[in-house]
Structure 1
Amino acid sequence: MTVNAVVFDFGGVLFDWSPEYLYRELIPDPLERARFLSEVCSPAWNIRQDAGRPLLEATELLVAEHPSQAELIRAFYGRWPQMLRGPLPGGVDLLRRLHAAEVPLFGLTNWSSETYPHAERSADFLHMFRDILVSGEVGIAKPDPAIYQLMHARIGARLPGIAPQELLFIDDNAANVAAATALGWQAVHHASAGATEAALRAAGLRF
């Protein structure tokens, strides 16, 4: 099936974001840091905010569960900008070349609506997207099928009649890629810019 639009994930593909950047300073011991980021300020906790839960509510609920680690928990969003290192050159270069080749581009990102403005301030390429769906703004996060269906509908408003099979999705999270392919999308599990470029060319894109 021909690819008629490319949908980019943001974190890990276009933006260099990691809690490690902050917590290496706050928790020097790597084992303790790994425990904290997997069991306290965990990915499962963070994705609730990506799906629209207010940051203050999320923080105080977690502090109530782990009062002895209140300072570390409050740092997660209180010092959140220190987790965002800015654009990833390889992914952004792919984006720019696809844009120059006039490939329709869209963004689908798991991101809290309260922290997303930091991304907008750190990037000069977001204008290349015809539409960007931010999970925190709609209250649904990947890999929920509903967010892909909403993205398809929004793309269809700009490219009438486009089928799911004509969309190619790029994401660094295997579960998110699997959710897209289950709905008929083409998808690339992003591990490196070089490998993703090869996959895009194999799908028939010329850029």
Structure 2
Amino acid sequence: EGLADRLEAVVFDIGNVLVQWDPRHLYRKVFASEAEMEAFLGEVCTMEWHLEHDRGLSFAENAARLKSRHPDKAGLIDLWGERYGEMVPDRVADVASLVEALDAAGIALHGLTNMPVGFFPELCGRFPELRRLRKTVVSGEEGLMKPDAAIYEVLIGRAGLTPARTLFIDDSPRNVEAALRLGFLGHRFTGAGELAAELRSLGLLRPS
């Protein structure tokens, strides 16, 4: 049997694969200069700090810890939770049509995302293609994060996946490597064009 006969499911990461996510989309609106914004994101609201949201800590609790260390930045820190949606200005170009084509071809689509609690429903409201994902596992809700194998196991169980018959797509090399170790096929996302070519070569999409 060829790959096309074997592959039955595709798992999508969400941030920077299906939708654009970057705190700069929000903070560019409030800082006078790029340099000030970069200093704030490099020293105050860092990625390391943000990862606690993805682990399940509430915005309020995580902000409180940070505001105690940076009381002069309290208002800016609170914006992270209050205006989190503005970090996602739009979908990633040309991926929605691939999701729709896969869905139409009868491929089971699922999501596995490092994301704070409560934000996924908002995204589904804004980007209807996300509603085509049958099961989506969100790190903040599970208290587990990629690339920890345990969160992949949660999705495997919930979605009834056979990793060898499933393509995993993520923009993070570490997350793709973790999927490969569990027996998934993997694709490191760099853009819709490369992904479309990969989907065609795997027989998941018909040649255009």
* RMSD, aligned CA: 1.6
Q: CA deviation at 1:83?
A: 1.6
Unpaired runs of 5+ residues, structure 2, are none
Number of residue-to-residue matches in the alignment: 202
Q: 1:91-141 CA deviation, whole Å, 9 max, x = no partner?
A: 111100100111111111111113333212212123322211111111112
Q: CA deviation at 1:68?
A: 2.1
1:19-168 alignment runs, 5 A limit: 19-156=23-160, 162-168=161-167
CA shift in 2, pair 1:75/1:127, >3 Å: closer
1:159 corresponds to: none
Q: CA deviation at 1:32?
A: 2.8
CA distance in 2, matches of 1:27, 1:81: 18
Alpha-carbon contact 2:11-2:169 (below 8 Å) kept: yes
Normalized against structure 2, the TM-score is what? 0.90
CA distance in 1, matches of 2:143, 2:86: 25
Normalized against structure 1, the TM-score is what? 0.90
Alpha-carbon contact 2:124-2:131 (below 8 Å) kept: no
Percent of pairs identical after alignment? Answer: 37
Alpha-carbon contact 2:169-2:189 (below 8 Å) kept: yes
CA shift in 2, pair 1:28/1:180, >3 Å: farther
1:191 corresponds to: 190
Displacement over 6 Å in runs of 4+? none
1:178 corresponds to: 177
Unpaired runs of 5+ residues, structure 1, are 157-161
Alpha-carbon contact 2:101-2:205 (below 8 Å) kept: no
CA distance in 2, matches of 1:153, 1:33: 41
Q: CA deviation at 1:176?
A: 1.4
1:205 aligns with 2:201: no
CA distance in 2, matches of 1:50, 1:179: 18
Alpha-carbon contact 1:55-1:114 (below 8 Å) kept: no
Alpha-carbon contact 1:170-1:188 (below 8 Å) kept: yes
Alpha-carbon contact 2:123-2:130 (below 8 Å) kept: no
Query: What amino acid maps onto 1:133 in structure 2?
Result: V
Of residues 189-198 and 125-134 in structure 1, the stretch that sits farther from structure 2 once superposed is 125-134
Q: CA deviation at 1:84?
A: 1.9
